[in-house]
A and B are shown apart, each in its own frame.
Chain A
Amino acid sequence: MPEPQLTPAERAEILEHHLHDHGHVDPERMARATAEDESGDGPSTALGARVIARAWTDPEFREQLLTDARAALREYIGDQIVPLVVLEDTPDTHHVIVCTLCSCYPSALLGNAPEWYKSFEYRSRVVREPRQVLAEFGTTIPDDVAIRVVDSTAELRYLVLPLRPAGTDGWSAEQLAGLVTRNAMIGTGKVLAP
């Protein structure tokens, strides 16, 4: 008789039980970490959007974000062990981020990576054919705009500072933040004009 196969859920429960027995997991921290509520001030698309909108409206902050993101982001996410680098899109350059080897993602700011970012399809294809992949997201990059694909292969995370859309003169940082999408900060999207 073959051994019945345990499901991943059963294996995870057994593992957690052993780790708990030997004091390696703190039940309260586990409960917090596994709570499904991700509202509040923690890492999220909304937090990233606030950072981008401030960079669009505060030139000093923008400069610091591009040259020393760790210092610029300290008030948002505290001191991070793993550095973050912010890549500035321009009218003739569009950046897009990937981790072909695993799933490195600016989660300290944006929270957990969406499923598609970790997919074999995205990881294999975006380095080879970014224009086609971006088109699948509904994002068209004109032929005269250079695409720079950035593969996160060391202990460092990237975030894209997208172009501020036209038609937003005089907008407050708060209004602008409402336009910034998660995909725009990864480079699979653009921030669209209102």
Chain B
Amino acid sequence: MDGVHDLGGLHGFGRVPVEAEEPFHEPWERRVWAMLGPVLRHTSIDRFRWTIEQMPPAEYLRSAYFERWLFAIERLALELGMVRSDDAPDGGFTSIVPGDPGRRRFALGDRVRTANPVTAGHTRLPRYARRQDGTVVRQLPPWPRATLAAATGRYDDGWEHVYSVEFAAGDLFGDGDHAVSVDVWESDLEPADA
């Protein structure tokens, strides 16, 4: 989904709070952190991320990090029936069933073009890296496509090869001498000259 969580490349956020070291500030934040584990026995981490993304944008930007987690864990615990029943569906890291991703389509050094796979569902291809030409710099182990794992809460289908695709910052942002890579599922890539 096109949401405010997709922050890469946005202007206007100001200096990084480099002195802000502590992961936790208040005791309840540790408790929220510790409640994610039980939820991920019944759904996927993609579903958790997608639920956070569904926070109203102004609320997302106003909330502290673990308030966003709390929002999603509350919703998922309700959705999965965990607040009214001892039972909950199988899911998440307890339902990993390795699948066959087929033959790898791209080699290191291949020039590829990214898709524009956005729907109201979950995608892990950031806005700044959609419909861009880049180079395959790493072949990564297969993993279920995040869009599907977010929809189902499971990791038993949609296994695909994954690649790191690197872009020139000048192509992405019009400026900069650096390179930026993102990790992309194979079905979001086509040969660049196709």
- List residues of chain A with CB under 8 Å of any chain B CB: 8-9, 11-13, 15-16, 18-19, 22-25, 29-30, 33-34, 36, 81, 83, 85, 98, 100-103, 111-116, 118-131, 133, 136-137, 143, 146-156, 188
CB contacts (< 8 Å) of B126 on chain A: these are: 100-101, 151, 153
Q: Which residues of B contact A113 (CB under 8 A)?
A: 23
Q: With the chains together, A191 CA to B10 CA distance in Å?
A: 30
Closest to A118 in B: B65
A115 touches B23 (CB 8 A): yes
Distance from B22 Cβ to chain A, minimum over Cβ atoms (Å): 6
B183 close to A136 (CB less than 8 A) = no
Q: How distant is A38 from chain B, measured CB to nearest CB, in Å?
A: 9
B30–A114 touching, CB < 8 Å: no
Sample of 15 more A-B contacts, CB < 8 Å, known A120-B61, A147-B177: A13-B28, A19-B38, A19-B82, A23-B86, A33-B30, A85-B138, A112-B23, A112-B33, A120-B7, A146-B177, A151-B8, A154-B124, A154-B162, A155-B45, A156-B140
User: Chain B residues near A121 (CB, 8 Å)?
Assistant: 13-17
Interface residues on B, range: 35 or more
Smallest Cβ distance from B126 to chain A, in angstroms?
A: 5
B178 touches A131 (CB 8 A): yes
Known interface pairs A15-B77, A115-B23, A154-B140. Does A101 touch B124 (Cβ–Cβ under 8 Å)?
yes
Please give, as numbers and ranges, the residues of chain A lying within 8 Å of B6 by CB-CB distance. Answer: 100-101
CB pair A156–B183 under 8 Å, yes or no, is yes
B42 to chain A, nearest CB (A): 8
Q: Judge whether B7 and A124 touch: CB under 8 Å.
A: yes
B173 touches A36 (CB 8 A): no
Across the interface, do B67 and A100 meet the contact criterion of CB distance under 8 Å? no
CB of B31 closer than 8 Å to a CB of A? yes
Nearest A residue to B137 via CB reads A148
Q: How far is the CA of A22 from the CA of B17 in the complex (A)?
A: 40
Does A101 contact B180, Cβ atoms closer than 8 Å? Answer: no
A-B contact pairs, 14 of them (CB 8 A): A8-B67, A11-B70, A15-B74, A23-B86, A30-B34, A102-B5, A112-B23, A112-B24, A119-B17, A121-B14, A150-B181, A151-B181, A154-B143, A156-B162
